[in-house]
Amino acid sequence: MEELEFVGKTSEDCVVADQVTPLKSRDSFTSGLGVIAATLGSAVGLGNIWKFPSLTGLNGGAAFIIVYILAAFMAGVPVMIAELMLGRRSRSDALTTFRVLEPKRAQWGLIGAAGVLSAFLILAFYTEVAGWVIAYVFKAASGSLLSTDPKVTSAAFEKLIADPVQSVFWQCIVLVFVGAIIIAGVSKGIEKTTKRLMPVLFAILVMIGVRSLMLPGAAAGLNFLFRPDFSKVTGAVLLTAMGLAFFKLSVGMGTMITYGSYFTKEENIPLTALRVMLADLTVSILAGIAIFPAVFTYGFKPEAGPSLLFITIPAVFSQIPFGSAFVMLFFVLAAIAATGAMLSIMEVPVAYLHHRFSMSRLKATTMTVILLALIGSTAALSNSVLAGVKPFGMTFFDLYDFLTSNLLMPVGGFFICLYAGWVWGPQKVKEALSNDGELKNGGVITLFLYLLKYVAPISIGIILLRGLKII
């Protein structure tokens, strides 16, 4: 299939032709390294540092990690491959992709529309956590976080999140920062930034991990991370693990469709997806290795939940020599991780507006950032002014998190599998994933098709219904 097939044709099938920008004028990733940096940059994020360790701590340690890995292989990676493949074929944003590939069946476009909605909801709470992270970098630098008493670090965190002005302020700083990189473009903004940041991220992570492993509680921490206790794995935990796999791998909402549209023709998509999944898992485990030995050494509880990052970490690292530097390094790490992820999420609506309405990136990004500042403030204020407003029994912050990870992304993933496996169909999948016969990866494609058509949708369906207590 030709990439520019739709441009300039007049048949009914090509109704979207006038909306598809020709490939030549489209900004794309420029090298294999750039593709990996940007895609891994999207996967690695606060999920590895803020969600993965705390969910592991809450749900029984190693048993949760095993369930997570299964969910990632059975559902996360297949959806990622499918998204990258569809995006690269259509050369379009998350919404237009379905209009291009399926001009006569408009209902599939709903997947893309839900994706754009998810992007807004995720960024609404994600930029808030990223805002706290940036605030903590400054606090750590000034030494004001240095306390070995979790009551003190907890009070400091409460004070930050309960302050409406600070919450909104830090969130806006994050939005403007991410927006500025997005405006610079796909290759000059996203690719360049993630290429620079990813090596720094690994270096910092290894440094903190090594330091943590030298602590006396290292054995207890590792034991917790690697010795499974399956008694805690319930239906809800399965859904949490699957939601985490989708969130971690940035799938089910069009991010990977959008990034796939910037992939070169030569890129080996299944291999890229596998590499990204494994590297991302390594980062999550390294984050666990950085955190849990320290937590056990100083007698903290591993099951602290989300507060692990902002309350336990400062208290724990304050106990070791040069603690302040380590706390700061830790939050710099989190800020770097968050950046690549936020870039990929914001790119979803920006690419859509840019592409569909021929808006400049500047205008598309400005509109997105303003809208996000509005929606995001409901999350930012959910620990202060809006603390009492609880639709469905959750604050806006928790609601956006729950809705996206546990509902929209798995549902999106489910329909992407159905579409790619059953509607678009095996023949086109084979052509797309073998790069039109260039790659001799028939075995991989057969396995992928089996996962895509049966394993992924069935397991997503069952886990969703069980997790939501419908069956």
Residues that bind ligand PHE (CB under 6 A): 42-43, 45-48, 122, 247-248, 250, 253, 255, 341, 344-345
Q: How far is the CB of 436 from ligand PHE (least distance, A)?
A: 29
Specify the residue, 46 or 379, whose C-beta has the smaller distance to ligand PHE.
46
Residue 136 tokens, joined: 């903590």
Specify the residue, 156 or 245, whose C-beta has the smaller distance to ligand PHE.
245
**Amino acid at position 404, single letter:** T
User: Residue 310: which of 122, 129, 457 has the closest Cα?
Assistant: 129
Q: How far is the CB of 97 from ligand PHE (least distance, A)?
A: 16
Q: How far is the CB of 171 from ligand PHE (least distance, A)?
A: 16
Helix (H) or strand (E) holding 378: helix 361-380
Q: How far is the CB of 284 from ligand PHE (least distance, A)?
A: 9
Q: How far is the CB of 92 from ligand PHE (least distance, A)?
A: 18
Q: How far is the CB of 335 from ligand PHE (least distance, A)?
A: 12
Only one residue has tokens 């996203």, namely 190
In DSSP terms, 327 is beta-bridged to none
Specify the residue, 121 or 444, whose C-beta has the smaller distance to ligand PHE.
121
The answer to whether 186 and 180 have CB atoms below 8 angstroms apart is no
The answer to whether 327 and 26 have CB atoms below 8 angstroms apart is no
Distance CA 82, CA 86 (A): 6
User: Residue 175: which of 242, 127, 233 has the closest Cα?
Assistant: 127
Distance CA 173, CA 185 (A): 19
Specify the residue, 95 or 122, whose C-beta has the smaller distance to ligand PHE.
122
Q: How far is the CB of 344 from ligand PHE (least distance, A)?
A: 5
Distance CA 136, CA 145 (A): 8
**Helix-then-strand count for the chain, H and E:** 23, 0
Specify the residue, 288 or 323, whose C-beta has the smaller distance to ligand PHE.
288
| Cα–Cα distances in angstroms (integers) from residue 167 to residues 6, 332, 373, 385, 401, in the given order | 46, 19, 11, 11, 17
Specify the residue, 20 or 460, whose C-beta has the smaller distance to ligand PHE.
460
**Amino acid at position 353, single letter:** L
Q: How far is the CB of 61 from ligand PHE (least distance, A)?
A: 20
Specify the residue, 255 or 368, whose C-beta has the smaller distance to ligand PHE.
255
Q: How far is the CB of 207 from ligand PHE (least distance, A)?
A: 21
Distance CA 429, CA 168 (A): 45
Specify the residue, 259 or 296, whose C-beta has the smaller distance to ligand PHE.
259
The answer to whether 284 and 435 have CB atoms below 8 angstroms apart is no
Specify the residue, 172 or 341, whose C-beta has the smaller distance to ligand PHE.
341
Specify the residue, 216 or 305, whose C-beta has the smaller distance to ligand PHE.
305
When computed from its CA atoms, the radius of gyration of the chain, rounded to whole angstroms, is: 22
How many C-beta atoms lie closer than 10 Å to residue 470's C-beta?
7
| 17 class by beta-carbon count within 10 Å (0-12 exposed, 13-18 middle, 19+ buried) | middle
Specify the residue, 332 or 345, whose C-beta has the smaller distance to ligand PHE.
345
Q: How far is the CB of 4 from ligand PHE (least distance, A)?
A: 28
Residue 165 tokens, joined: 């002005």
Specify the residue, 94 or 315, whose C-beta has the smaller distance to ligand PHE.
94
Left (φ > 0), alpha (ψ -120 to 50) or beta: where does 8 sit? left
Q: How far is the CB of 248 from ligand PHE (least distance, A)?
A: 5
User: Residue 254: which of 172, 191, 348 has the closest Cα?
Assistant: 348
Q: How far is the CB of 298 from ligand PHE (least distance, A)?
A: 27
Angle between helices 235-248 and 456-467 (to 10 degrees): 130
Three-state DSSP class for residue 423 = helix
Residue 430 tokens, joined: 């084979």
